[in-house]
Structure 1
Amino acid sequence: MKKRMISMFVALVMVCGMLTTLPQTGYAAQTGLQPGTPEQESMLAQPLEDIDGAIHDAIKDNVMPGAVVLVARNGNIVKWDAYGYALRYADDDFTEIDDPVKMQEDTIFDMASISKLFTAISVMQLWDQDYFGLDDPVSDYLPEYDTKEKRDITIQQLLTHTSGEKAGPSKELYEMDGDREELLEYVMEEPLENEPGEAYVYSDINYITLGVLVERLSGEREDAYVQTHILEPLALSDTMYNPPENLKPRIAATEFQPWTDRGMVWGSVHDEKAWALDGVAGHAGVFSSAEDLATFSQMLLNKGSYQGKSIFSKEAFDLMNTNWNEAFPGQNHGLGWDLNQDWYMDILAEEDTLGHTGYTGTSIVVSPKLNTIAILLTNRVHPTRDTVSTNGIRKEVAAKTGSSIYSWNAESLQALVESLQDKGAFSDENTARSLDVHLAAVKRFEETEQTEKVLKHLDGLQNLLEHQRNEGLISDDAYDSLVDGAAYLMGKWRD
């Protein structure tokens, strides 16, 4: 339904011409995401269309039973598609049900660890209101941390996974007696794995604790706080903790869990720790749709505002988009967000590219440099978590999204060469310079619309790249990105 509405409004948007007469980011900040086309945003359609085949192949290979992809640039949604099934199996033996539920563009997914982003923004909203400083000890606000071992842990260390906490609790919370408050106390009293600030360990305990911080300072349970201060201002009607029963037909099923006596988990949080905490925890529990997550992401691109409403300050955004983990190379992390992680962001990865993944098969990439959002939502744990990793398809969706931008013309490919050079993808400056010179020639022939010479020089570029790879002058990933980019640009000129 929503996708058909987008198609109906595309023509109206083009006639009005509003998106070409106003600054794109400012326009999106005031009006919200709009329907668009790749061409409007200087993007090639073919790479985005090729995402379809990649997703279908992944479904065929049992990576996941279904998916939704949404790509937006400059405040315009240029791709929004659903694939496969939201509910397909009855058990972890892959027994197919009689009436599988098809995935829809507005299917609601268990976000898993993408929930941490809602916690992080809640924390930064409270920081905006001067409730605390990022370098303040957590023990100033949570007496459970006022111990010899944990007294010096700061709020910033919890946000960046450098607190010394373990990845998760020692015991399964759902097997323990006690109410939510007692279980939260148990989690916060867990012994540390490292000294504070000495190591990076991705930890659910960090964000469970941050959720408690939000609750203690605001006086509201986290779901109520998020609803009032994030979801309602952004009008995220498909985003929530503990979805009501009437929404179950729209929700993607997750895992068959006989060990929790829940059978097929469908409409209830997948994460066992969050489930034990009544479905509301700082590390997991949020359900959302691709459209809502795109709105959330656009708010980030707008540095904290959307449709004239401020969610948090630009200063808070800048702190969230700063790498606090320079002491731990490769573990770039802002306050809540991954930064510059090419293992799933591919060529969208830059120093300021934000993102996060979720265990259920969700991922989000937000590129301020390209003003682009790439969202992949899957139910890869349906019917079991013991399946093929989704990291390959996450990376491919980001790669195709990046190719649609960088393959627009020779100048865009030059920008890709520059980005890859900054990442150390070439053995020396001469390797990158030779590619740049070659693309400069392509650019001149594009300007004079000499199709044969454009194609000839792009073919030559591919031969040059082959030589550079054979000589060990270029990384395999950079080679793949540039060869694909040249092929897509050649396709544009052949058409």
Structure 2
Amino acid sequence: MKNTVIRAFLILLVFSGISCRSVKKSFDTKKNEVYIDSMFTNGLEKGFFPGAQVIVGSKDSIFISKNYGFHDYSKTEVVKAEDVYDLASMSKVLGATLVAMRLVGENKMNLEDRLGDVVAFYKNTAIADLTLFELLTHTTGIKPSITFYQSLLSTSNGLPFFSDQKSENYPELFDTMYVNNTIVYDEEYVSLEPKENYIQIAKTLWLNPEFYTTVYEKIAVANTNPSGKYLYSDLNLLLVKQMIESKTGVKLDQLTKEIYNELGISTIGFNPLKWTVEQNVIPTEIDNFFRKDTIKGYVHDEAAAIFGGISGNAGLFANATSISVICQMLLNKGNYQGKQILKTKVIREFTKSPLVKKGIYRGLGFDKRKPNDIYKKNDFGHTGYTGTFFFLNPDNDRFLIILSNRVNPSRSNTLMYKDDFTAKIWKKINKNN
């Protein structure tokens, strides 16, 4: 009797056009929306962030799309769907990695391409033999970051930049330290007004591009760890950008825009004040150190800032809606509305863990995690320092996007990380309910 009932149920599924796989993917929108509402309400009350956007979807559907809170803690501007957030390190995959995938698929780049062969500056340096594969998997041995911008600053009173105590010389807080109030810019490289050929790096700052030689020289001697081992580094993606631009002769922002245009998305890109109004840009940190201003419309990350907001490690701004289109394209094996944006085999190659036998779970560009009760083997995505997150589960046909500005007013606010906020929501929406 029991077998007969099971057989009848399966026959019913077949004739109703429903597969066992689609049953597995069922999503209780109302139940999950109640959970997400409670999480974001709690996050707002506890000061995880002033506001946020969230989208949950599949390769062909959007289940939940909501906005919460305000632009900042003045609570004068509510978060709207068209508002764009600073994506921080999500830019690594939604910008440079996406372009690399396109170029690899078109045989215009190869994962074994060596840095020194592609970018002439590095030809005779210690990092010349690093490959695109090593850069994308963060196995180059290059140190995590270099505070290039600090060499553009000095203090007129000769005292250090920071103090752990507030005083007459150190009145303003930045992160967890107080900032010297006599900081001045190096006039050889920094101007407070526009100059010919200078690059705008903030609302009232312009940089002499001759400074980039210093930057590249520092990167060339930054491989302080054995290559082959995993060490996440912003510098890797700076180098990926250089490889892409040297190979193509086209700037990264133009290459990303080409892909975004094919996808029909316009609320994503570098330097948002060039393509949206300032009112629709979410502010990030109050920077009392380098920019001496509330950062709004300019990239938060200092390394990306000195490159004029266009970088491989950071710089993209977007709303959740535009990112959801990219997620759907990736879950549809590179296809979006009949257009093959990326090759299926390339997506498969970039989103797997090619070094898992070495205990490295990283994808190519994409973040992956050691499988556990939250992250599954085939999950992939990325997070961002400003409080952003997106992950996809191709097996369960789910994706989650969370955009916030937890660094407003200060990057010292790490409450959402201490709460495992994004991981809890990702775990919940991946349950078959």
User: TM-score with structure 2 length normalisation?
Assistant: 0.77
Is 2:231 the partner of 1:194? no
Match of 2:123 in 1: 146
Q: 1:281 to 1:353 in 2, by over 3 A?
A: same
- Whichever residue aligns with residue 129 of structure 1, its letter is E
Rounded Cα–Cα distance in structure 2 between residues aligned with 1:380 and 1:328: 34
Q: Partner amino acid for 2:52?
A: A
Tell me which of 67, 72, 77 is aligned to 1:82: 67
Give, in whole Å, the separation in 2 of the partners of 1:173 and 1:235: 39
What is the match of residue 62 of structure 1? 47
| 1:32-71 deviation line (CA, Å, top 9, x unaligned) | xxxxxx9994435213311111111112111111111110
**Structural RMSD (CA):** 2.5
Name the amino acid aligned to 2:131. Answer: T
* Pair 1:84–1:304, CA change in 2 (3 A): same
Change (3 A) 1:191 1:83: same
Instruction: Work out which of the residue numbers 269, 278, 285 in structure 1 matches 2:315.
Output: 285
Cross-structure match for 1:135: 112
Distance 1:183 1:107, change over 3 A: farther
Do the aligned partners of residues 174 and 369 (structure 1) sit closer, same or farther apart at CA in structure 2, a change above 3 Å counting?
farther
Indicate yes or no: 2:339 matched with 1:362.
Answer: no
Instruction: Specify whether residues 275 and 202 from structure 1 end up closer, same or farther in structure 2 by C-alpha distance, changes over 3 A only.
Output: same
2:92 is aligned, of 92, 106, 116, to: 116
Flag the 1:77–1:174 CA change in 2: closer, same or farther, 3 A.
farther
- The CA distance in 2 between the partners of 1:306 and 1:41, in whole Å, is 22
1 or 2, which has the higher helix percentage? 1
Q: Aligned in 2, Cα 1:21/1:215: closer, same or farther, shift over 3 Å?
A: farther
Instruction: Output the amino acid matched with 1:232.
Output: N
Match of 2:409 in 1: 383
- 1:183, 1:248 → 2: CA distance? 33
Q: Secondary structure at the match of 2:289?
A: helix
Moved more, 235-244 or 384-393: 384-393
Matched residue, 1:172: 149
Shift of 1:248: 1.4
Q: 1:349-408: CA deviations, max 9, x gaps?
A: 2211111000000000111001111111111001100012423111121122123xx2x3
Asked if residue 53 in structure 1 is aligned to residue 38 in structure 2, the reply is yes
Change (3 A) 1:170 1:237: closer
For residues 255 and 151 of structure 2, the distance between their equivalents in structure 1, rounded to whole angstroms, comes to 24
Question: Residues 54 and 396 of structure 1 are in contact (CA less than 8 Å); yes or no, is this contact kept in structure 2?
Answer: no
Q: Which residue in 1 is equivalent to 2:135?
A: 158
Deviations 1:271-327 (A, max 9, x none): 111111101001100001101000011111012121112222112111112202325
Residue equivalent to 2:366: 337
Q: Separation in 1 of the partners of 2:309 and 2:398?
A: 32
Q: Describe the shift of the 1:74–1:133 C-alpha distance in structure 2 as closer, same or farther (beyond 3 A).
A: closer
Q: CA deviation at 1:173?
A: 6.1
CA distance in 2, matches of 1:170, 1:240: 24
Q: Which amino acid is 2:49 matched to?
A: M
Deviates more, 1:70-79 or 1:42-51: 42-51
Name the CA distance, whole Å, in 2 between partners of 1:136 and 1:214: 11
Pair 1:235 & 2:264 matched: yes
Q: Distance in 1 between matches of 2:414 and 2:224?
A: 30
Q: Distance in 2 between matches of 1:380 and 1:283?
A: 19
SS in structure 2 opposite 1:80? strand
Preserved contact between residue 109 and residue 377 of structure 1 (Cα < 8 Å): yes
* Residue identity in the other structure for 1:167: P
8 Å Cα contact 2:133/2:364 also seen in 1: yes
Distance 1:157 1:207, change over 3 A: same
Query: Aligned match of 1:319 in 346, 349, 367?
Result: 349
- Equivalenced residue count is 358
Q: Give the Cα–Cα distance (whole angstroms) in 2 for the partners of residues 69 and 138 of structure 1.
A: 38
Give the match for residue 395 of structure 1: 423
The 8 Å contact of residues 100 and 109 in structure 2, kept in 1 or not, is answered as no
What amino acid maps onto 2:285 in structure 1? Answer: E
Alignment of 1:187-266 (within 5 A): 187-197=218-228, 199-228=229-258, 230-244=259-273, 246-266=276-296
Identical aligned residues as a percent: 26
Give the letter for the 1:52 counterpart.
D
Bigger CA drift: 63-72 or 240-249?
240-249
> What aligned pairs does 1:437-452 form with structure 2 within 5 A after superposition?
none
**Deviation string for 1:93-115 (max 9, x for gaps)?**
xxxx4x62111233211100010
Q: Structure 1 stretches of 5 or more lacking a match? A: 1-19, 26-37, 89-96, 409-495
Compare 116-125 and 147-156 and name the one that shifted more: 147-156
Q: Is the 8 A contact 1:325 1:332 kept in 2?
A: yes
Matching of residue 182 in structure 1 with residue 167 in structure 2: no
Describe the shift of the 1:170–1:387 C-alpha distance in structure 2 as closer, same or farther (beyond 3 A).
Answer: closer
Does the CA-based 8 Å contact 2:393-2:399 persist in structure 1?
Answer: yes
How big is the shift at 1:147? Answer: 3.2
Q: Distance in 2 between matches of 1:108 and 1:22?
A: 38
Alpha-carbon distance in structure 1 between the residues aligned to 2:83 and 2:29? 27
User: Which amino acid in the other structure matches residue 388 of structure 1?
Assistant: T
d(CA) in 1 for partners of 2:63, 2:99? 30
Query: What amino acid maps onto 1:171 in structure 2?
Result: F
TM-score, reference length from structure 1: 0.68
Structure 2 counterparts to residues 396-475 of structure 1, below 5 A: 396-403=424-431, 406=432, 408=433
Secondary structure class of the residue paired with 2:303? helix
Change (3 A) 1:41 1:106: farther
- 2:334 is the counterpart of 1:308: no
Residues 183, 277 of structure 1: 8 Å contact kept = no
- 1:301 and 1:224 map into 2 onto residues whose CA distance is 24
Pair 1:267-2:297 in alignment: yes
Question: In structure 2, how many angstroms separate the alpha carbons of the residues matched to 1:377 and 1:155?
Answer: 29
Q: Deviation of residue 266 (structure 1)?
A: 1.0
Deviation (angstroms), 1:243: 1.0
